Structures are given as structure tokens and as C-alpha cells.
């Protein structure tokens, strides 16, 4: 029988294998793996967003992902539109290359759907591309597109799940996110938006029942970081309620993804969510709602790999590099499951995964960092 998803048993075995000293490889820190939905997930995940759409970058990404898996990472994040489906194909390649050492059920593979993926490169005529690939095939209509590039109708999301599975040559996605749903709020009112989310969640519950995906969520950029009165704001409790209405208590809405880093600390600091009437920051609201938090852009797209102030470096353990310091901040934040770091370079994988051998920073550091006490 084919293996479709990461399992509790295989991810725990993966964790235990990397917790042991083998040859000259040092063991990973016991707090490097977190429990989420009975799975053991690495605190450092690999993201695949940035980079050119060329074969040199494909080769680099494939090597980086292979190295990441061999160093004890088991969370991979992607989307079909990342490098026009090239990133997903690199992941497929890396999974096949490591098949003899690592089974599919030990690795948590996440993708998204929402943006038009294109194929290997941007088309010269987007309307023609959409018509040929989605309208003529009956997947979506022109009026389903928002902003000329975003779609979250049930048929479109289902087609994107199939596309991701084909690109990676796997049988199931552990996690499928609706990609930046807030894009729709720029064009439709909140009532229409929530009706679309309910339809989308229904389709994702169907994909779960067909064992195409195991969990679903929303991956956002601004939605969870801004004030409730802003037009593209997202309420996490509303999403959770819609999922419960659509899928019952055992619904699959179990993850959110959002940016959080030393320069964008809102998700930990700003109480812009309400759970049962109590104002909470997004990370804490997610914890209360039983939803795991995956972090994008922990290095602010590379900008936090340099010029981190000395007082912050010291507070976070005087680590060797600024990139490690910035990642340590994110992976140590209480309530964070995984920091997804974009890494197309093998060298960056080696540097960042060295952090997985270190214990996370104590929660006290966060009080000190945000009160300014560390700079006294």
C-alpha cells in the first residue's frame, strides 16, 4: 500500500534517530521536535519560495532539500506558484533521492493553492494561459479570478491539490493551505468572503475524505497581523467556527501560516484576535483554538541574516551568525511549531540546521527582549 501521509510512529522514529549520536554527527536537541496533531515536527522547516526559474536554481534547491532531510529536518513548505511549479518538482526529486534512507511517512509535506501556478516560466499572455488551462478544462471561470491571479473556488483548489501531487509524484499532502485568502478581501465583501471560505473548506474536507490531504489551513501575509477594523483582517476564531460548521468537531483545519520575525513580531505581541471574547495575539489564540502555527519569512527574506543588534545576539545566546540568531528567536517563541526558512543553498541548510543541535532560548528571554531589559 502506498504511503500517503506523515504518521505519528514514523515521525517519532525520525526524531529518535536524529536524537542519537551516529558516527561523527552530533545529536539534535531534544526540544528541536514539537508535537503537533500527534506528529513530531522539526522546529526548522525548509521553504521554497524565492529564487530564479532556471535549471541551476532547480539543482541547488534539490541538493538543499536532500541535505536538509539528511540533517534531520522533516517539514517542507511549498506552493505550485513558487518558481512556477519548479520548486514542487525539486521536492519530488529530493524525496526520490532520499527514498532509501527516509520513508515518506516520516516527512511532513505542505503545499498551498490560490495563485495561478503557470508552468516553469511566466506566460506571455496570462488570460490565454488561464483560458487554456482552467476555463476550457472546466476548472474555473474568468469571473472566479480575483485581482487577475487569485482563485479559491472548490474546483480550482481541488485541481491545485492534484497538480501538487503530480509535481512531487506523491500520493497525499500532509497539509494544504489556502494561499493568502486575504487577497480576495480586496475585492469582495466579508459576507461573500466567508461564504467562499465555507465552500473551500467543504472541498478540503472532501479531499481529506479521499485521502488526498491530511490537514488544511490558511497561509497568510497580512491577514493575522493587522487590526480588526482593517479591510483584509482575518479572525482566526471565525475560520475555526466555519471549519466546525462544515467539518464538525473532527474537522481538518489545524494549521495557520504567517510571517513572524525580529522585525515583524506582531503575531506574538499584538492582541488583535479574540477567542471567546478574550483579546489575544495570534500565536496564543491559535494555541487556545488547538491550531498549530507555522512561521514564514523568519529571516525577513534574508534581511535578518545580517545587522542584528549586538544586545539581541547576546540575549539569544551569542550564536555564531545573525541568521542563526534570527531563527533562534522564531523557533524559541512559545507557541511556534516550525520556522519555515527559505533555503536554496546547501551552505545555508548546514548553517541553519546546526541550530537544531542547540536548545531553544528560555521563554524568559522574550520578556526581557520586549521590555528592553536586555539592553540595560
Ligand X SMILES: NC(=O)c1ccc[n+]([C@@H]2O[C@H](COP(=O)([O-])OP(=O)(O)OC[C@H]3O[C@@H](n4cnc5c(N)ncnc54)[C@H](OP(=O)(O)O)[C@@H]3O)[C@@H](O)[C@H]2O)c1
Give me the residues that bind ligand X (CB under 6 A), please: 47-51, 77, 179-180, 219-221, 257, 296-302, 305, 323, 340-345, 348, 351-352
Q: Which is nearer to ligand X, 175 or 305 (CB)?
A: 305
Chain Cα centroid distance, residue 232: 20
Nearest approach in angstroms of CB 344 to ligand X is 3
The answer to whether the beta carbons of residues 223 and 273 sit under 8 Å apart is no
Nearest approach in angstroms of CB 41 to ligand X is 15
Nearest approach in angstroms of CB 59 to ligand X is 13
Q: Which is nearer to ligand X, 7 or 150 (CB)?
A: 150
The answer to whether the beta carbons of residues 120 and 129 sit under 8 Å apart is no
The answer to whether the beta carbons of residues 108 and 11 sit under 8 Å apart is yes
Nearest approach in angstroms of CB 49 to ligand X is 3
Nearest approach in angstroms of CB 200 to ligand X is 15
Q: Which is nearer to ligand X, 52 or 192 (CB)?
A: 52
**What angle (nearest 5°) sits at the alpha carbon of residue 169, between those of residues 166 and 175?**
80
Q: Which is nearer to ligand X, 40 or 111 (CB)?
A: 111
Nearest approach in angstroms of CB 302 to ligand X is 3
- Cα 107 to Cα 42: distance, rounded to the nearest angstrom: 10
Nearest approach in angstroms of CB 306 to ligand X is 8
Nearest approach in angstroms of CB 343 to ligand X is 4
- Cα 172 to Cα 181: distance, rounded to the nearest angstrom: 22
Cα–Cα separations (whole angstroms), residue 227 to 234, 240, 290:
9, 19, 22
DSSP one-letter string for 250-307: T-SEEEEEEE-BTTB-HHHH---EEETTEEE-HHHHHHHHT-EEEEE-TTTTTGGGS-
Helices (H), 99-189: 126-130, 154-168, 182-185
Max CA pair span of the chain? 65
Q: Which residue has the cell 503545499?
A: 111
- Cα 273 to Cα 218: distance, rounded to the nearest angstrom: 15
Q: Which is nearer to ligand X, 10 or 323 (CB)?
A: 323
The answer to whether the beta carbons of residues 181 and 172 sit under 8 Å apart is no
Measured between its terminal Cα atoms, the distance across the chain in Å is 60
The answer to whether the beta carbons of residues 21 and 309 sit under 8 Å apart is no
Nearest approach in angstroms of CB 335 to ligand X is 18
Q: Which of 92, 338, 114, 124 is nearest to 220 (CA)?
A: 114
Q: Which is nearer to ligand X, 170 or 343 (CB)?
A: 343
The answer to whether the beta carbons of residues 222 and 232 sit under 8 Å apart is yes
Nearest approach in angstroms of CB 248 to ligand X is 27
Q: Which is nearer to ligand X, 12 or 300 (CB)?
A: 300
Per residue, what are the HEC states of 230-257?
CCCCCCHHHHHHHHHHHHCCCCCEEEEE
Q: Which is nearer to ligand X, 7 or 308 (CB)?
A: 308
Q: Which is nearer to ligand X, 224 or 366 (CB)?
A: 224
Q: Which is nearer to ligand X, 57 or 141 (CB)?
A: 57
Amino acid at each position: 500500500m502506498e504511503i500517503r501521509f506523515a504518521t505519528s510512529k514514523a515521525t517519532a522514529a525520525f526524531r529518535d534517530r536524529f536524537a542519537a549520536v551516529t558516527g561523527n554527527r552530533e545529536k539534535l536537541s531534544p526540544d528541536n521536535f514539537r508535537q503537533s496533531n500527534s506528529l513530531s515536527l522539526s522546529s526548522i522547516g525548509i521553504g521554497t519560495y524565492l529564487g530564479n526559474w532556471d535549471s541551476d536554481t532547480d539543482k541547488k534547491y534539490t541538493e538543499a532539500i536532500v541535505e536538509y532531510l539528511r540533517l534531520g529536518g522533516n517539514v517542507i513548505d511549498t506552493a505550485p506558484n513558487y518558481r512556477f511549479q519548479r520548486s514542487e518538482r525539486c521536492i519530488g526529486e529530493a524525496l526520490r533521492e532520499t527514498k532509501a534512507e527516509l520513508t515518506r511517512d516520516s516527512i511532513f509535506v505542505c503545499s498551498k493553492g490560490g495563485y495561478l501556478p503557470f508552468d516553469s516560466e511566466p506566460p506571455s499572455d496570462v488570460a490565454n494561459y488561464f483560458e487554456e488551462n482552467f476555463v476550457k478544462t472546466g476548472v474555473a471561470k474568468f469571473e472566479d479570478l480575483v485581482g487577475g491571479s487569485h482563485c479559491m473556488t472548490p474546483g480550482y483548489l481541488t485541481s491545485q491539490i492534484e497538480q501538487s501531487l503530480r509535481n512531487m509524484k506523491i500520493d497525499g499532502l500532509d497539509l494544504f493551505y489556502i494561499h493568502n485568502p486575504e487577497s480576495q478581501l480586496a475585492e469582495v465583501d466579508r459576507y461573500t468572503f466567508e461564504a467562499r471560505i465555507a465552500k473551500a473548506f467543504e472541498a478540503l474536507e472532501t479531499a481529506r475524505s479521499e485521502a488526498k490531504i491530511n490537514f488544511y489551513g490558511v497561509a497568510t501575509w497580512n491577514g493575522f497581523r493587522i487590526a480588526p477594523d482593517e479591510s483584509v483582517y482575518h479572525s482566526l476564531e471565525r475560520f475555526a467556527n466555519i471549519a466546525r460548521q462544515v467539518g464538525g468537531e473532527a474537522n481538518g483545519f489545524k494549521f495557520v501560516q504567517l510571517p513572524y520575525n525580529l522585525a515583524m513580531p506582531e503575531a506574538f505581541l499584538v492582541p488583535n484576535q479574540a477567542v471567546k471574547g478574550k483579546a489575544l495575539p495570534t500565536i496564543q489564540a491559535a494555541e487556545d483554538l488547538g491550531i498549530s502555527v507555522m512561521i514564514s519569512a523568519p529571516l525577513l527574506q534574508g534581511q535578518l541574516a545580517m545587522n542584528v543588534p549586538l544586545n539581541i545576539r547576546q540575549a539569544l545566546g551569542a550564536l555564531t551568525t545573525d541568521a542563526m540568531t534570527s531563527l533562534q528567536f522564531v523557533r524559541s517563541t512559545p507557541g511556534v511549531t516550525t520556522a519555515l526558512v527559505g533555503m536554496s543553498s546547501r551552505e545555508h541548510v548546514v548553517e541553519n540546521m546546526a541550530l537544531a543541535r542547540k536548545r531553544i532560548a528560555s521563554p524568559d528571554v522574550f520578556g526581557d527582549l520586549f521590555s528592553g531589559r536586555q539592553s540595560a
